[in-house]
Amino acid sequence: MSLIIETEAEMNLSRILQNDYNIVSAFSARSNMYGKDNYDSDISPCKEISEAEEIIRFHVEDTGCRWGIISKSEEQFVGTCGFHCWVQGGEQSKAEIGFDLGKEHWGKGLMQEVLRPVIAFGFNHMGLDLIEATVDPENVRSIKLLERLAFQREHELRDQLIYYYLRRESWET
């Protein structure tokens, strides 16, 4: 991993590269990062290195970027965040933001600390006009997080996900 963004408090962000599969696999195996005991999710932790490699391949080959969230105090990988489905040009440049965090770090405000500079990176360095997010309606923590970060709720999608968006002009004001 190479350091990309340093946050003001407890976390650093390092770009996830293809050879980081051991880190992603170990994190996935030890963490309930998708909240299965908090809400119903169809995402399971990695059981094999090949599953972690596939996750990384998706983020490396997809149009976007993903960072590992590193605890400064523990020097440990605690989650990921970043952009995928980056659409450049046309009427507006946009990408979808995604994030996950090990259960032991939930409820501490860490993801809000991490996502602020990531969102700023999206608008200032990627040239995004719009950032989208989808969230499971049962994932109350993620819903509250997006709303604290000024995302606007658009609608519920057919597959039971809630669609949120954040426009550049809303972020800058």
Please write the tens of the pLDDT for every residue from 114-171.
Answer: 999 999 999 998 899 999 999 988 889 999 999 999 999 988 767 688 999 999 999 8
Q: What is the spatial distance between Cα 5 and Cα 158, in angstroms, rounded to a whole number?
A: 35
Average pLDDT, the chain: 75
Higher pLDDT, 4 or 82: 82
Nearest by Cα to 64 from 136, 120, 16, 23: 16
Three-state secondary-structure class, residue 52: helix
pTM for the model stands at: 0.77
Q: What is the CATH number of the domain that holds 69?
A: 3.40.630.30
Domains in the chain: how many in total?
Answer: 1
Helix (H) or strand (E) holding 134: strand 130-135
Residue 69 and residue 24 in contact, taking contact as beta carbons nearer than 8 Å: no
pLDDT recorded at residue 33: 44
The domain of 119 spans: 2-172
